[in-house]
Amino acid sequence: MPDPAQEGAEGIQGTLDFVYRSESRRVLATLVRLLGDIDLAEEGLHDAFAAALERWPRDGVPANPRAWLVSAGRFGAIDKIRRRARFDALSAELADRIEAEASEEPDAPPEGLEDDRLRLVFTCCHPALQPDAQVALTLREVCGLTTEEIAAAFLVSPTTVAQRIVRAKAKIRQARIPYQVPSLRELPDRLDNVLHVVYLVFNEGYLAAQGDLLTRSDLSAEAIRLGNLLSDLLPEPEVLGLLALMLFQESRRGTRTTPEGDLVLLADQDRKLWDREMIRRGRELVDRAFASRRIGSYTLQAAIAALHAEAPTHEATNWAEIAGLYEILRRADPSPVVELNRAVALSMRDGPLVGLDLVDAILERGDLLDYQLAHSTRADFCRRLGRREEAEASYLRALDLVRSGPQRRFLERRLLELDPPDHRPAT
C-alpha cells in the first residue's frame, strides 16, 4: 500500500481505489454477518467509503483500513436504521440489537473475516434460490460485478439481472436463508452446489453459448478467482479438482482462437503458447486432490485435462489413459456428454469407426439429439472415414443447432472442405 505520509488528495484517491479493489468484498461479507442483511450491508459499505473519502485526507489512512471500514459501515447502517425507526418499531428493535452486538464486540476478530466471505458464498449459492439467481448474486455480492457487467456477460437485460437479484435477496430475508457455512453433514451437497455455480460462471466465460466472442475472459477470470478463494478457505478435494480443471482450460485461452476470432481445434493449437505456470499449478492441485483418495468428477475431468495439457503433441497424447479416465467418470457420474467424450478419445486410440459406433449408439437412444457437439463429432468421424454424404448431413444438423459465431464459421469451413462428391459430371 502507498505510504500515507507522503500523499496529497490524489494519493489518497489512489489509496482508496486500491483499498476498494482489495478490501471491499471482504468488508461487505463482514457487514452482511454483522447486519444480517445484504441490502443494509451494501448501504453500509457505500457509507464507509464515503466516510473514508471525507476523513482519510484529513486524518490520514488508518493503520487497519479494513477494520476501520467495517466499523464505519456498521455505524452508518445503525444510523440509517435509527432514522427509519422513528416510523417503525421493528427497525428500532433491530437498531438496538445491532448496536448492542457492536458494543460487545467492537472489532471483528481478524481471523473471522475470511470465513465471512465463505459464508456469503454459501448464502448466495443456496439451493433454495433459483439457479440463475445464484449465479447473478454470487457475481454481484462475492465478486463485486455490477448488474450491467453481469447482464453483458450473460447477454440478458440489466433489468432481468436486477430483478433476479432483488427477488433472491427478498427470499433470503423473508424465508430466512441462514448466513453460515453448512454443517459437516450438509457440506458435501451444499459444496456441490457452490462448485456448480462456479463452474457455470467459468463455462459461460470459456465457451460463450451465444454471441460472437468465443471467450469472455472476464467471467473465466472471476470463476478462477472464486476457485482460488474456495481452495484457500475450504481445500476439499473437489474444490482443488475444479480449480485445476479451470486452470488447465484457461492455460489454452490464447491459442483457442485466431486473431480474427475463429476457432482453433486442440489438435491445431500452438502448444508452445500454453500457459505453463497455470498447467504447473493445475497439476499440483490434481495431485493433491488424488492424494486425498476421495476422487470426484471435477478431479477426474481435471486429470483428463492434465493429460492433454502435458502431451507434447496431439498425436503423442495418452489417449488410452484418457479413455480409461472417461470410463471411470462415466461410472461415477453417468452422462451422455461424458460418453461422447470417451468416444472421441477411443477414436484417437482405435480409429474413427469405433467412435462413430459409440456416437450412433448414444443418438439412437435419443440422447444428445439437440446437442451440437454430438452432431459435429459424428460429422468428423464420418469425414475421417471418407463417408462424405453422412458427414455433410451431420454438419448441417450441427449448423442448425449452433449459436456462437465462431463455432458456426468453423462448421461452415469444415463443410466446404469436405471432399467433392464422387459423382462429378464427366467432362
Q: Which residues are at the interface with other proteins (CB under 8 A)? A: 127-130, 133, 167, 170-171, 174-175, 189
* Rounded CA separation 418/382 (Å): 10
In this complex, which beta carbon is closest to other proteins, that of residue 133 or of residue 379? 133
Cβ atoms of 57 and 12 closer than 8 Å = yes
In this complex, which beta carbon is closest to other proteins, that of residue 84 or of residue 167? 167
**DSSP assignments along 52-93, one per residue:** HHHHHHHH---SSHHHHHHHHHHHHHHHHHHHHHTT-HHHHH
Please, what is the minimum distance in Å from the beta carbon of residue 333 to other proteins? 13
* Rounded CA separation 245/354 (Å): 27
**DSSP SS3 for 373:** helix
Residue 257 bridge partners (DSSP): 263
Please, what is the minimum distance in Å from the beta carbon of residue 174 to other proteins? 4
- In this structure, the chain runs to a length of 427
In this complex, which beta carbon is closest to other proteins, that of residue 174 or of residue 183? 174
Please, what is the minimum distance in Å from the beta carbon of residue 167 to other proteins? 6
**In angstroms, what CA-CA distances link 124 with 118, 137, 190, 272, 278?**
10, 6, 11, 39, 28
CA 318 to chain CA centroid, nearest Å: 28
What grid cell was written down for 204? Answer: 459461460
In this complex, which beta carbon is closest to other proteins, that of residue 1 or of residue 128? 128
In this complex, which beta carbon is closest to other proteins, that of residue 174 or of residue 313? 174
Please, what is the minimum distance in Å from the beta carbon of residue 371 to other proteins? 23
In this complex, which beta carbon is closest to other proteins, that of residue 169 or of residue 383? 169
Please, what is the minimum distance in Å from the beta carbon of residue 175 to other proteins? 4
In this complex, which beta carbon is closest to other proteins, that of residue 175 or of residue 265? 175
Please, what is the minimum distance in Å from the beta carbon of residue 235 to other proteins? 25
What grid cell was written down for 66? Answer: 479494513
Q: Is 415 exposed, middle or buried (0-12, 13-18, 19+ CB in 10 A)?
A: middle
In this complex, which beta carbon is closest to other proteins, that of residue 160 or of residue 257? 160
Cβ atoms of 372 and 405 closer than 8 Å = no
Give the list of residues 6+ apart from residue 278 with CB closer than 8 angstroms, or none.
247, 248, 250, 251
In this complex, which beta carbon is closest to other proteins, that of residue 26 or of residue 171? 171
Cβ atoms of 394 and 379 closer than 8 Å = yes
Please, what is the minimum distance in Å from the beta carbon of residue 127 to other proteins? 4
Please, what is the minimum distance in Å from the beta carbon of residue 408 to other proteins? 34
Please, what is the minimum distance in Å from the beta carbon of residue 205 to other proteins? 24
Please, what is the minimum distance in Å from the beta carbon of residue 186 to other proteins? 9
Give the chain's largest Cα–Cα span: 96
What grid cell was written down for 339? Answer: 460418453
In this complex, which beta carbon is closest to other proteins, that of residue 163 or of residue 269? 163
In this complex, which beta carbon is closest to other proteins, that of residue 9 or of residue 128? 128
Please, what is the minimum distance in Å from the beta carbon of residue 219 to other proteins? 23
* Rounded CA separation 328/254 (Å): 31
CB atoms within 10 A of CB 112: 12
Q: Is 370 exposed, middle or buried (0-12, 13-18, 19+ CB in 10 A)?
A: exposed
Nearest to 97 by CA among 34, 180, 46: 34
